[in-house]
Amino acid sequence: MYNNLKILYHQGKQFIPDVTTALLPGIFRGRPIISKAIVNENDLLQTCPVNAISINPVTIDLGKCTFCGECAMRFPEKIEFTTDYKLSTNVRESLVIKEGEDKPVIINSAVVRSEIHSLFGRSLKLRQVSAGGDNSCEWELNAANNVQFDMGRFGIEFVASPRHADGIVITGPITENMAEPLQICYDAVPHPKIIILVGTDAISGGIFAGSKALNRSFLDKYSVDLFIPGNPAHPLTIINGLLGLTRKLK
Amino acid sequence: MHYLTIQNNQSVPVSEIPEISYNAFLVLNTGMMVENSGRHCANYFGYPEAGAIKLICCIADDEDHLIHLSSCVADTNMELASFTAKLPCFEKFEREIHENFGIHYTDHPWLKPVRFAYNRADSDKGIADYPFYSIDSEELHEVGVGPIHAGVIEPGHFRFICNGEQILHLEIQLGYQHRGIEKLFLEKDQLNQLSTLAENIAGDTTAGHTTAFVHAWESLCGFKTTRDIDFVRTLALELERIAVHTGDLSAVCTDIAYQLGSSVFGRLRTPIVNFMQEWCGNRLSKGLIRPGQNKFPFTQALANRLSEVLDIFETDFIEMNKELFDLPSALSRFERTGVVSTLDATSIGVVGMAARTCGMPRDIRMSHPHSLYPELNHEPVVKHHGDVYSRVQIRKHEVQQSILHIRNLISNLPDVHERVEMGKPRAGLFAISLVEGWRGEICHCAVTGQQGELIHYKIKDPSFHNWLALALAVRNNEISDFPVCNKSFNLSYCGHDL
């Protein structure tokens, strides 16, 4: 008992007081800024392993980007990754960053279904489904629940049963072998329900896009309520995304 | 000589690997292991060649630091005697060959699908048709768990046969995570795509798998790494070990409902992965390791920062461990739970941490050292009881050992070398790369064709060997102890399913 108290005292307060303004130390590859500098566009296209870069105008699709930073390293005058971790959005097109723009990625509350704010604004229970995920986004989703990021303080939790859930969180590129279990799980969640994609693999297939072992037809059937990019998504990206979707931030 | 002997990270022309008849191949490889318990099968796989299947077997000798290669050509319509009938450690390798190419083994005791790969030989049956072992009994019942589990983890199906609360048998069915990675290695043609693929094999072992890939690639190209490149990889591997082991201690505490341990170990992982991000921009070291280059040189400032992080970490880590290992209610859940006997572990060919908790000093860092491990003089931590307690305890010791290794490493920072052009993979080669990830032995094998293009890429995660150990460990345990047994192994689903 005495030792337990000692440990508690030594650990002190671990939680990040404000997860919406916390700063990340060192380098972090968050939202990129693309300058108007002229570079060899063919070389630029070649540097990207996942075809996230397009030209005329130069754009980076964060739904495809693996945040490896290769392009910024080769063309520092053209591309710079900032430490801005607020990358989540409910509009797929908002993930496409254009050259000459330095605008935050936002969640457009005008197109958020009205019941999401009213029903899930104070309590959101989610069922996570890993469908070919490489355990990195799963790891970061768990981290979002630890005592530091402490997502539970906002009433957002992961639950075991889809019957208790308000929506599903999908990680991974959705393999053929997980397509049916995913559908069964989604069907078991009561209405109204939401779908959230976490990580580049889930949003576009990432490096696995085009593999014959995938079956992404689930995503053709339903509309997605939130895209949380990253490889893996940072816990702060996840929490800010969920907060942005479910409550009207001042 | 019917086999060719090479060292870790060496490449040889495929044509130099002796090709012998299947019977000689079987006698040679099983014989090599029966004679010597210090040998194990590092990899055994097949690939299509001129209408037949070329089989290559790699037996690693832990004592003399060598790898023995032999090969054989088999027809898909042949019926073969299995290695497994003699040595159970080959069971999954042969199941994989059977599943992928339809080669039939006459005396394999458990010839079931491994992962329902999309390019399997028999595509009539899908993952829902897996042939589970079952017992027709009124006293016994079956419990099915998964593929989707209660927590935020990967999918896999566990089928228990229980007598009341007691587990008699567990069968683990995997394959849900199959993304076709090995085929993608052949389909993608840019090096940065291959590196990205390698770091997405298993996100919790990013440093491990990426290091295995770059070693294999550099070996194919004949590229000699400089000290600074090796330094980065060694450091990343040890940091990954600390981070995951600490996270596992947290998860084990969660499974025995010990809140304080769960919270403290859970939060202790953060400074380690955050340091990783400070250094290379990603908490799981994605983007750090690339063939032939040192993308994020480790500076003196980073070394000072890491030393500071480790000092604070270590104090808290030791304090929490002392409390955990003095706690009777925790120990009673760990001790004699989920035992794997040394005999079983040897016979099924367990690797890595799971092997070291059964008294086997199996560790690539010592037996086939790569990067800067030769100068660290690594000596594996070995435990003997093979139970959850041993598997929890080894994590504590290995974390402390990794801290020592890191302090050693950062006391002597390497000079950053100019980047040297790496060249392209040479034609007709076979390369093997063994890396000790935090879970255990990772093995990547690559074969190049006439133009130096990859014609086969084989990945083996330690989980490929170790899932069977979990199935054996839970026998005769209470089903309520399954979570803590499972977490004490913490095996990879995606690393297995590929």
Give tens-digit pLDDT for B222-255.
Answer: 999 999 999 999 999 999 999 999 999 999 999 9
Q: How confident is the model at residue A112 (pLDDT cuts 50, 70, 90)?
A: confident
Entry field: residues in chain B: 498
Q: Please write the tens of the pLDDT for every residue from B443-476.
A: 999 999 999 999 999 999 999 999 999 999 999 9
Euclidean distance between CA atoms A215 and A217, whole angstroms: 6
Q: What's the pLDDT score for residue B417?
A: 87
Q: What's the pLDDT score for residue A2?
A: 86
- In chain A, the number of structural domains is 1
Q: Is B184 close to A172, i.e. CB distance below 8 A?
A: no
Token readout for B12 is 């040889």
3-state helix, strand, coil in chain B (%, to 5): 45, 20, 40
- Checking if the pLDDT of A117 tops 70, the result is yes
DSSP H or E stretch at residue B325? helix B300-325
Q: What's the pLDDT score for residue A187?
A: 96
Mean pLDDT across B181-207? 94
- Checking if the pLDDT of B188 tops 70, the result is yes
Euclidean distance between CA atoms B258 and B250, whole angstroms: 9
- Checking if the pLDDT of A241 tops 90, the result is yes
Euclidean distance between CA atoms B468 and B179, whole angstroms: 22
Q: How confident is the model at residue A250 (pLDDT cuts 50, 70, 90)?
A: very low
Q: What's the pLDDT score for residue B90?
A: 94
Q: What's the pLDDT score for residue B123?
A: 86
Residues of A in contact with B497 (CB under 8 A): 177
Q: Is B154 close to A135, i.e. CB distance below 8 A?
A: yes
Mean pLDDT across B120-136? 89
Domain ranges in chain B with CATH number 3.30.460.80: 4-114
DSSP A99: T
Euclidean distance between CA atoms B498 and A107, whole angstroms: 35
Q: Is B274 close to A139, i.e. CB distance below 8 A?
A: no
Q: Which residues pair with B5 in a beta bridge?
A: B68
CATH of span B4-114? 3.30.460.80
Range of the domain at A240: 109-246
Mean pLDDT across B308-318? 96
Task: Inform me whether the C-beta atom of residue A234 falls under 8 Å from chain B C-beta atoms.
Answer: yes
* pLDDT, averaged across chain A: 92
Q: What's the pLDDT score for residue A248?
A: 61
Mean pLDDT across B293-302? 93
Residue A239 within a domain:
yes
Q: How confident is the model at residue B38 (pLDDT cuts 50, 70, 90)?
A: confident
Q: What's the pLDDT score for residue B173?
A: 94
Is the pLDDT higher at B242 or at A112? B242
- Checking if the pLDDT of A108 tops 80, the result is yes
Q: Could you tell me if B311 and A99 are in contact, meaning their C-beta atoms sit under 8 angstroms apart?
A: no
Q: Which residues pair with B12 in a beta bridge?
A: B430
Report the predicted TM-score, pTM, of the whole model to 2 decimal places: 0.95
* pLDDT, averaged across chain B: 93
Superfamily covering domain B181-462: Cytochrome-c3 Hydrogenase, chain B (1.10.645.10)
Mean pLDDT across B55-72? 93
- Angstrom distances, CA of residue A4 to CA of A10, B250, B255, B262, B322: 10, 16, 19, 13, 11
Place of tokens 């995913």: A182
Instruction: For chain B, give the percent of residues with pLDDT over 90.
Output: 89
Token readout for B433 is 């790369």
Residue of A81, A142, A175 lying closest to B179 (CB–CB): A175
Best B120, B152, B194, B255 member to test A by mutation, with max A CBs in 10 Å, is: B152
Residue A228 within a domain:
yes
Residue A233 within a domain:
yes
Furthest CA-CA distance within chain A: 66
Euclidean distance between CA atoms B271 and B273, whole angstroms: 6
Q: Could you tell me if B113 and B95 are in contact, meaning their C-beta atoms sit under 8 angstroms apart?
A: yes
Residue A74 within a domain:
no
Residue A151 within a domain:
yes
User: What is the interface size between A and B, counted as CB pairs within 8 Å?
Assistant: 197
Q: Could you tell me if B250 and B262 are in contact, meaning their C-beta atoms sit under 8 angstroms apart?
A: yes
Euclidean distance between CA atoms B38 and B111, whole angstroms: 27
Euclidean distance between CA atoms B209 and B463, whole angstroms: 13
Q: Is B152 close to A142, i.e. CB distance below 8 A?
A: yes
Q: How confident is the model at residue B50 (pLDDT cuts 50, 70, 90)?
A: confident
Domain ranges in chain B with CATH number 1.10.645.10: 181-462
Q: How far is CA A200 from the centre of its chain?
A: 8
Q: How confident is the model at residue B345 (pLDDT cuts 50, 70, 90)?
A: very high
Query: What's the CATH code of the domain at A127?
Result: 3.40.50.12280
Task: Inform me whether the C-beta atom of residue B179 falls under 8 Å from chain A C-beta atoms.
Answer: yes
Q: What's the pLDDT score for residue A249?
A: 57
Q: How confident is the model at residue A34 (pLDDT cuts 50, 70, 90)?
A: very high
Beta carbons within 10 angstroms of residue A78's beta carbon? 21
